[in-house]
Amino acid sequence: MKQVKKTAVKKSVPAAKAAPKAAQKVAPMKKMDEKKASAAPKAAVKKPAVKKAAPKATPKAAAKKPVDLSPEERYRMVEEAAYFIAERHGFNGDTIYFWTLAEAEIRDQMK
């Protein structure tokens, strides 16, 4: 017959009983210190400052000057805008409603 060697089996002890209470309190603090230490080098690295180009000065008079349109030009612009609005609605709806929307759109663009 073969001889079988018997070994002693150790029972696991709960963590609360295995380590003293003082050591348990220190372990979380070590973890916090490690987190702070790992975060410190990241914060210390600074990116070089990038200078933004200065905005170009535009004359205020040119920016606020309303566009002068002849009545015929305005009519054609409203007509075209009304057509595209009606097209978006599948040409179903009130033509006066589309025309009114187009007039408001053109008026807002010309301000």
Q: Among 8-12, 33-37, 69-73, name the one with the lowest average pLDDT.
A: 33-37
Q: What is the pLDDT of residues 73-84, one digit of tens each?
A: 999 999 999 999
pLDDT at residue 111, rounded to an integer:
82
Mean pLDDT of 75-95: 96
pLDDT at residue 68, rounded to an integer:
85
Range(s) of the domain holding residue 101: 65-110
* Type of residue numbered 59: P
Burial 48-70 (b: 16+ CB within 10 A, else e): eeeeeeeeeeeeeeeeeeeeeee
Region class of 6: left (phi > 0), else alpha (psi between -120 and 50), else beta: beta
Indicate whether 56 belongs to any domain: no
Report the domain count for the chain: 1
Indicate whether 97 belongs to any domain: yes
Indicate whether 92 belongs to any domain: yes
pLDDT(47) > 70: no
Helices and strands, counts by H and E, the chain = 5, 0
- For the entire predicted model, the pTM comes to 0.42
Indicate whether 41 belongs to any domain: no
Mean pLDDT of 90-109: 96
